[in-house]
Amino acid sequence: MNESGSFLLITIGAPFLMGMAVGYFMKKTLKIGLFLLGLSIVALFVAGYYGVISISGADLTHAVEKGTSAVNRLGSFLVNSLSGLGGVGVGGAAGFFVGLKMG
């Protein structure tokens, strides 16, 4: 590989691969988080059915909305961080979305 080819691989390929790794990790983490969220909601419903606790639908909805906004902020932070990787930040952001698709 000539010098310009290795330069291209390092400057464009590395941010893309970093973005892809972060996107893949993010998607897998979200899947595990959603599984645990669903499990905890079912456990709350079962505990409410047997009278162990009382569940307010409004409080449950509010808690899920707060979690959703936190995940949205984290996703925006990651995309902005990957986009800021020098002049080829677009490659990092594109890699992030490819990783999300793969995960």
In a domain, 15, yes or no: no
Q: For the whole model, what pTM was predicted?
A: 0.66
Is 50 inside any structural domain? yes
Residues of the chain by 3-state class (helix, strand, coil), percent to 5? 90, 0, 10
Residue 4 lies in a domain: no
How do residues 32-50 score in pLDDT, each as one tens digit? 988 988 898 888 889 888 9
Q: Is residue 87, in this structure, part of any structural domain at all?
A: yes
In a domain, residue 11? The reply is no
Q: Return the percentage of the chain with pLDDT > 70, whole number.
A: 83
Residue 68 falls inside a structural domain: yes
> How many C-beta neighbours within 10 Å does residue 53 have?
11
- Work out how many domains the chain is built from and give that number: 1
Identify the DSSP state of 84.
T
12 in a domain, yes or no? no
Average pLDDT over residues 66-93: 78
Domain that includes residue 85, residue range: 24-102
Q: What pLDDT is recorded for position 28?
A: 92
